Structure formats: C-alpha cells, structure tokens
Amino acid sequence: MRIGVVPGDGKGPEVIVEALRVLDAAAARFDLTLEYEHFDLGGERYLRTGEVLPDDVAESLANVDAIMFGAVGHPDVAPGILERGIILRLRRQLDQYINLRPVKLYPGVASPLAGKDHRDIDFVVVRENTEGLYVGAGGFAHRGTRHEVATEESVNTRFGVERTIRFAFEVAAGRKRKHITLCGKTNVLVHAHDLWMRVFEEVGSDYNGVECAYANVDAVCAWMVQSPERFDVIVTDNMFGDIITDLGAAIQGGLGIAAGANLNPDGVSMFEPIGGTAPDVAGTGKINPLAAIGAAGMLLTHTGQTAAGAAVETAVATVAGALPSLAAGAMGMSTSEVGDRVCELVTR
Ligand code: IPM
Ligand code: MN
C-alpha cells in the first residue's frame, strides 16, 4: 500500500512521525507492506515559494492508496489560504464526500461531562464534506464601503445529500444500536434542510432496521453535553458537522484524541487528527499524538486492513485510558513515549 504523507505545519510533523511508527508496527505484525511518499505542503513551502498546492502534487496525491495528513495553518499566512488551498481543495478534488468522525470516550478517560463515562459517549458523526457553506459561493458588492453586501451561500445538491445520508444509514445499520439522528435546522433553513429532511425520510425507508430521529443543531449541542447517550450515528451538513465535531472532541477528552477520516469510498481517502496546528504547544515534545495515531488506525480499517486497524484502535484506547490526562503537557510523558506505548501494544 502506498501512503501519501502530508505532515504540514505546527504540531502536524511531530504527531505524524508517531502515526507512521505505529503504522510500521502494525505492518510488521500483520504482514503488510507500506510505502510512504512525503509531500512538503503548508506554510513553510508557501512562504518560501508562493505555492499552496501545486498541480503535480495534487496529481500525485490522487494516485496513492491513502493519505495521512497532519495539519496546515501558519501564523505568518493569512487564515484560510492554506486551509482552503490544501485541505478543502483535496477534499473536493479527491471527492472525499464523507467526513467520518467517531466520538468515543475510552474507558478510563475523564470526560469534562460530570457523571458520564465510556458507556454514555460512543457515537459517530457523518459529516457531508464537499458542499454546503464550504463551496465558497457568494461574494461581495461594494466591498469596503458603507453599502457593502457580503453573501455566503450554502450549496446542497440532492446527489451530495443523498450519498451522505445513504452512507450514514449504512454505518448505522452496521452498529449495535442502529440509531440515526439527522442534525439540521429545518425551522429556519427552509430550503436546504427541507431537502435534507426529505432525502433522510426517503433513504430511511430502505432501512427498516434503523431507528430514525431528527434534531435541530442547537438541541444537538445541548444534548451532546447533557445526554450524549442519545446518539449513535449523527448525519449532518458540512458546517454543522464542523462545529459539532469539535464539541464531540471536547466531550471525548479533547482534540488530542479526536481522529477523523475524509472518505471517498471509491477513491483516495485522507486521514487526520481533527485538531489544528496547535502553534502554542507545537515543538515542545508534549503534544498528544493519539489523534493522529487513531487516524492511522482508521486508515488501515478503511483500506481493508480491518484486523490491523482494530489492533491500533485497541492500543490507542488502552494508552488513552492509562494517561492522567489527554491534554498536551499533562500526559505525564512525551509525545514519543506515548507513541512507544502504542507501538508496544500493537506489536504484541
Ligand atoms: C476541520 C477543520 C477544517 C474545516 C478547516 C481547517 C478548514 O476545522 O477539519 O474540521 O473547517 O473543515
Ligand atoms: Mn473543524
């Protein structure tokens, strides 16, 4: 398997190193051959050469079997240039139309939610990943004047909504509880989320064994805090998915543990820790690499190496449960020591 590696900026490179060590440990144990091709993308390259994502790099990344992605964003680069030019462009260009984000509180990990433990927080968010408010539709008129108008349009195609919802039902059908919640805002977004609701009902009629629920996004936020045990699979649009998955990361112990997958089930998928570059703690050797390692586990699972993926996930869960905290600087060990622990467990 050929894996394209984009360490990127900030904490990206240091957590990717650990993720690759764990992939190597899994490869040794499960007899896989993994080849890595590194790509230099991110703030340093942009500042050096003015290039964000050269076409030949995009082309090369379209021809690997999977991508391990760290993080991009740089203090000296205007916000959005790298994020839109690299992450969002890759998601769209590679048609990674699903962003799959498990929200799982591992046994032994403290949640900031009082009285909740691993029995209460175990769901997965299926986020539409190429449309909605992320398409960049809209514009300015009279920019910089008192009459300025700025619009930002949410684009929702039936095709995009349907494939996302269908994917989410498949995920739900494969889980123990078989429960799915559509997260929208039908009381206000009367066009886009009317479409989401109709497609949800339509696709749902093909899945008799899956129990369906609907909740507005604001209520979803409250329930994720008050009663996260309600949720099994949540399907939602791009923007709401972005927001609720950071909340999800917080209730599962923080961005240090939260992994995600940008999936094109028929093409090249990309796996990443969902947190950003963490410039304040990058380079200290105290970052938690478990999110990136978890993403590596998802890479194995979604490329068909399910036993190896499960071994990595189990190891991540065990190490996470044994750490005093999942926060950078509070783990009681260094980034590479956490990587060592996971490697030991995966190798065993
Ligand atoms: C994420 C990130 C990205 C997003 C940013 C960096 C463009 O927040 O993966 O959730 O908004 O999708
Ligand atoms: Mn986000």
Please indicate, yes or no, whether residues 64 and 30 belong to a single structural domain of this protein. yes
Q: In the chain, what percentage of residues exceed pLDDT 70? A: 100
Instruction: Return the axis-axis angle of helices 290-302 and 12-30, rounded to nearest 10°.
Output: 40
pLDDT at 348: 85
Please indicate, yes or no, whether residues 203 and 275 belong to a single structural domain of this protein. no
- Tens of pLDDT, residue by residue over 43-72, are 999 999 999 999 999 999 999 999 999 999
Q: Which of 46, 97, 106, 134 is labelled catalytic?
A: 134
Confirm if 332 and 15 have CB atoms less than 8 A apart: no
State the CB neighbour count (10 A cutoff) for residue 176.
7
Q: Which of 116, 185, 232, 286 is labelled catalytic?
A: 185
Please indicate, yes or no, whether residues 57 and 126 belong to a single structural domain of this protein. no
What atom in ligand 1 is closest to the CA of residue 87? 7
pLDDT at 219 over 90: yes
Half-sphere CA count of 19, side-chain side, radius 13 A = 37
Q: Whose CA is nearest to atom 7 of ligand 1?
A: 83
Ligand 1 pocket test: pick from 41, 69, 86, 87 the residue with the most ligand atoms within 8 Å of its Cβ.
87
Q: Which domain holds residue 189?
A: 111-252
Does 103 map to a domain?
no
Q: What gap in Å lies between CA 28 and CA 31, rounded to an integer?
A: 5
Please indicate, yes or no, whether residues 210 and 275 belong to a single structural domain of this protein. no
Domain tally, the chain: 2
Please indicate, yes or no, whether residues 115 and 59 belong to a single structural domain of this protein. no
Please indicate, yes or no, whether residues 40 and 67 belong to a single structural domain of this protein. yes
Q: Whose CA is nearest to atom 4 of ligand 1?
A: 242
Please indicate, yes or no, whether residues 25 and 157 belong to a single structural domain of this protein. no
- Tens of pLDDT, residue by residue over 95-137, are 999 999 999 999 999 999 999 999 999 999 999 999 999 999 9
- Tens of pLDDT, residue by residue over 137-166, are 999 999 999 999 999 999 999 999 999 999
